[in-house]
């Protein structure tokens, strides 16, 4: 069971990074030149993100793009899913920038200044195994999205989360543990639902129903005691005001048990990550 939780916990790390990137990028608006601020920001690298399993290794102004290089430890970023969904991933990054406008007008101002200088934003994600994904938000793309997208920051965060789930869902089904297959994931209202099919020769759905509250508390304890992957997932639930539900479905009976951690419980037990700063 623990293996399944770890796999799902790692899925949302990229969106956490996006929040950190947008806050860092926005600082360029307050310097005399973008070049000076990029040089200053790069001197702060590496910048840990996603509870320490990733880092912004460098920030550069190159080829008319403000480029962020993000490195992950092996197995913590689903780069193949990003490669399979490049357009959705780019839209997810853009929406994440819009979501950060809830913290002030500087993100919008930053985008405006980049467009005036005909500078785009490039995000490069890689891991130590050599996998690499690059997403270019060109000035033309940013300008088009600015005119086409008319949603508030809260709605933007919700839409970015939907895209992230859509991107990751392309990798299902996955064998998460003995007798357990993760078959899907969805966002229903403000509830992230992870769907797992259980071999009923190994798992008793009725017993899981009785133990669901204890299991939810165990997840919180594991996250607060250093499980970085699960912690990243719960942190995302906190900043997006969503709850988390694991829906366990019996392979034969099709009976199911929902293991739920409410948004209120998550918000009471997790501290907003300092790199994200969304409340």
Domains and CATH numbers, the chain: 13-168 (3.30.300.250), 171-269 (3.30.300.250)
Beta bridge partners of 72: 54, 127
User: Residue 140 contacts by C-beta under 8 Å, 6 or more apart in sequence?
Assistant: none
Rounded Cα distance between 45 and 52, Å, is 13
pLDDT at position 107, please?
64
pTM: 0.79
- Classified as helix, coil or strand, 259 is strand
Residue with token string 């310097």: 31
pLDDT at position 71, please?
87
Buried b (16+ CB within 10 A) or exposed e, 173-196: eeebbeebbbeebebeeebbbbbb
Confirm if 215 and 259 have CB atoms less than 8 A apart. yes
β pairing state of 120-127 and 65-72? parallel
pLDDT at position 20, please?
52
pLDDT at position 21, please?
54
Spacing of C-alpha 110 from chain mean position = 22
Nearest CA to 84 out of 17, 133, 157, 18 is that of 133
Nearest CA to 244 out of 219, 222, 224 is that of 219
What tokens appear for 242 in the block?
A: 């969503």
What tokens appear for 237 in the block?
A: 């639930």
Residue with token string 């819009």: 98
pLDDT at position 86, please?
94
Please report, in tens digits, the pLDDT of each residue of the chain (279 residues total).
544 444 444 444 455 555 555 555 555 555 557 777 788 778 888 887 766 677 888 989 999 999 989 888 776 777 888 899 999 999 988 888 787 665 555 567 777 878 989 999 999 999 878 889 999 999 999 999 988 888 887 788 888 888 888 887 877 888 878 898 989 888 888 898 989 999 999 988 888 888 777 777 888 888 788 777 777 778 778 878 889 898 999 999 999 999 888 888 888 887 655 555 555
State the CB neighbour count (10 A cutoff) for residue 163.
22
């Amino acid at each position: 069971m623990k293996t399944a939780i770890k796999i799902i916990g790692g899925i949302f790390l990229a969106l956490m990074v996006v929040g950190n990137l947008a806050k860092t990028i926005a600082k360029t608006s307050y310097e005399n030149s973008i070049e000076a601020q990029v040089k200053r920001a790069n001197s702060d690298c590496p910048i840990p993100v996603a509870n320490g399993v990733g880092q912004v290794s460098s920030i550069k102004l190159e080829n008319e793009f403000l480029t962020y290089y993000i490195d992950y430890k092996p197995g913590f970023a689903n780069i193949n899913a990003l490669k399979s969904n490049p357009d959705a991933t780019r839209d997810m990054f853009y929406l994440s920038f819009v979501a950060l406008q809830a913290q002030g007008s500087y993100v919008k101002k930053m985008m405006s200044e980049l467009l005036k200088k005909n500078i785009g934003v490039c995000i490069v994600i890689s891991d130590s195994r050599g996998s690499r994904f690059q997403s270019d938000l060109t000035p033309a793309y940013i300008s088009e999205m600015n005119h086409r997208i008319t949603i508030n920051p809260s709605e933007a965060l919700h839409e970015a989360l939907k895209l992230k789930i859509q991107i990751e869902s392309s990798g299902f089904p996955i064998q998460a543990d003995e007798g357990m297959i993760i078959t899907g994931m969805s966002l229903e209202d403000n509830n992230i639902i992870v769907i797992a099919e259980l071999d009923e020769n190994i798992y008793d759905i009725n017993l899981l129903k009785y133990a669901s509250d204890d299991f939810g508390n165990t997840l919180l304890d594991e996250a607060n005691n250093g499980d970085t992957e699960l912690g990243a997932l719960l942190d995302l639930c906190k900043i997006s005001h969503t709850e988390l539900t694991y829906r366990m479905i019996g392979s034969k009976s099709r009976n199911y048990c929902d293991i739920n951690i409410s948004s209120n419980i998550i918000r009471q037990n997790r501290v907003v990550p300092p790199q994200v700063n969304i409340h």
